[in-house]
Amino acid sequence: MKSITRALALAGAGALALAACGTPPEESAGGGSDAGGASSDYKACMVSDSGGFDDKSFNESSHNGLVAAEENLGIETATSESKAVSDFEPNVNNMVTQGCDLVVTVGFLLAPTTGKAAEANPDTDFAIVDSMAQDADGNPIEVENVKPIEFDTAQAAFLAGYVAAGTSETGKVATYGGMNIPTVTIFMDGFVDGVAHYNEVHDTDVQALGWDKEKQEGSFTGDFEDQSKGKAVSDEFYNAGADIVMPVAGPVGAGTVASAKEGEGRYVVWVDADGYETNSSDPDAQAVILTSVMKEMSVAVEDVITGASGDEFDATPYVGTLENEGVGLAPYHDLEGEVPAELQDEVEALRQDIIDGKVTVESDASPEAA
């Protein structure tokens, strides 16, 4: 198989103009100590992005890692849920003031706030999900007390694009994002390249709507909150003939699920977590989720907290890949019958080819392993 390469120019993050107040920190205290030496006087804290901890996506998955660490290590925890970008700095400062030993911030948009807080508080450890720390101008910076937790999701999204192209009955699939930032476009890059790879292998012409990887331009709703925008853009894609849509927009993706429910033969590729599992209370939603591009954020967050609580914190970036199972493709669940067995075998072989370096998935948005 041929290598897939690309040269991308990434757009920077814009600010969200939303007016709301942050949620006061919530605490819960554990007890005892674990075999690795973590004790109940260690305090790990977390600040969410504006999607909140119940977003069925990256905030919720990261929070699950904090909860698991509390249960398994017997440590104390606290959380602060952001409702808008303006909440980031006061929420992070709240955690520092509370005496948190480790503050985990969730999401690329928190990178400048994390960098500022870490430099001002060298005795507090920080970790950030989906980014490095940044300076006030949005430039990545290395700070000794900040551990990046990043994921090369282009690899898993490449597999999802291949599956979508091979499963589509209309010959059209689509993707869109919440904002044009690297942690969103990395999914879109991988997805459209996976479609292109399927076309190359099978001599087909499945179209990928919503993202031009060469121009780094495409469809975005502008935030990670307004589900009505997700439904509107998804309605347009489905009406244009796409039968599979991948939203990369946190809670906004629920609008895509709502749109898919309204028509026959409409399916969704979820991201970050296994959307089938996170929608367990909604069988109608489960029925339209083809698969999910997963980032194992809960495992990564728990691992970082475990190390830090045992005096093993370091700023070496964690990078999740297909090889270390930090990213992956979720099962097809109820829709396994819609994915031909031969295609499933191809996807598994492609996964191994990416791990072995036979197929190269490249994106300027992909984090570099240390």
Could you tell me the pTM of the whole model? 0.80
Give tens-digit pLDDT for 226-269: 999 999 999 999 999 999 999 999 899 999 999 999 999 999 99
Whether pLDDT at 31 is above 50:
no
Say what the pLDDT of residue 33 is.
39
- Tell the CATH topology of 26-150+298-320: Rossmann fold (3.40.50)
Say what the pLDDT of residue 13 is.
34
Domain ranges across the chain: 26-150+298-320, 153-295+332-356
Which pLDDT band holds residue 6 (cuts at 50, 70, 90)?
very low
Structure tokens at 95: 């955690």
Give tens-digit pLDDT for 84-133: 999 999 999 999 999 999 999 999 999 999 999 999 999 999 999 999 99
* Superfamily of segment(s) 153-295+332-356: Response regulator (3.40.50.2300)
Q: What proportion of the chain, given as a percentage, has pLDDT over 70?
A: 89
Say what the pLDDT of residue 7 is.
34
